[in-house]
Amino acid sequence: MNNVISKRTPLVIAAEINTIKHQTSRVLLANAIEIGRRLKEAKDLFPHGEWGDWLKESVSYSQRTAQRLIQLFQEYGKKQLASLDSNDGSNASLVTHLTYTQAIILLRIPEEEREEFIEKHDIESMTKSELQQAVKDRDQAIEDKNALQKDLDAKSSEITQLTDQAKRLKKQVEDCQANYVAEQEKVTSTLKELEAAAKEEVPSAKETAELENKLQAEKSQSPISKADAQFTIHRDVILNAFNELSQILSALNRIDPEIKENYREKLHTLLQNLAKQIEVWPPIVKTNLEINTGSSGS
At 79, is the secondary structure helix, strand, or coil?
Answer: helix
In this structure, is residue 288 part of a structural domain? no
Backbone Cα Rg of the chain: 54
Of 100, 131, 127, nearest to 118 by C-alpha is 131
Query: Residue 229: phi, psi to the nearest 5?
Result: -65, -45
In this structure, is residue 205 part of a structural domain? yes
Report the domain count for the chain: 2
Higher pLDDT, 169 or 54: 54
Per-residue pLDDT tens for 121-158? 988 889 999 999 999 999 999 899 998 888 888 888 87
Which pLDDT score is estimated for 292? 53
In this structure, is residue 39 part of a structural domain? yes
In this structure, is residue 290 part of a structural domain? no
Q: How confident is the model at residue 239 (pLDDT cuts 50, 70, 90)?
A: confident
My answer on whether 121 and 14 are in the same domain is: yes
Q: How confident is the model at residue 280 (pLDDT cuts 50, 70, 90)?
A: confident
Cα(195)–Cα(270) distance, integer angstroms: 7
Per-residue pLDDT tens for 78-96? 876 555 555 544 434 566 6
Element (H, E) at 193: helix 128-198
My answer on whether 119 and 33 are in the same domain is: yes
Cα(71)–Cα(50) distance, integer angstroms: 20
What number is the average pLDDT over the span 194-216?
A: 66
What number is the average pLDDT over the span 257-275?
A: 88
Given 68, 95, 126, which residue is the final one in a domain?
126
Q: Is the pLDDT of residue 41 over 50?
A: yes
Mean of per-residue pLDDT scores for the chain: 80
Higher pLDDT, 211 or 56: 56
Q: Give the sign of the dihedral formed by CA 267, CA 269, CA 274, CA 275.
A: positive
Which pLDDT score is estimated for 174? 84
Q: Is the pLDDT of residue 296 over 50?
A: no
In this structure, is residue 154 part of a structural domain? no
In this structure, is residue 216 part of a structural domain? yes
Q: Is the pLDDT of residue 183 over 90?
A: no
Query: Residue 63: phi, psi to the nearest 5?
Result: -65, -30
Given 96, 126, 156, which residue is the final one in a domain?
126
Higher pLDDT, 206 or 43: 43
My answer on whether 107 and 185 are in the same domain is: no
Of 107, 28, 45, nearest to 74 by C-alpha is 107
What number is the average pLDDT over the span 42-62?
A: 92
Could you tell me the residue range of the domain that residue 71 belongs to?
A: 10-126
Q: Is the pLDDT of residue 5 over 70?
A: no
In this structure, is residue 83 part of a structural domain? yes
In this structure, is residue 15 part of a structural domain? yes
My answer on whether 183 and 114 are in the same domain is: no
Which pLDDT score is estimated for 200? 58
The percent of residues in the chain predicted with pLDDT above 70, rounded, is 79
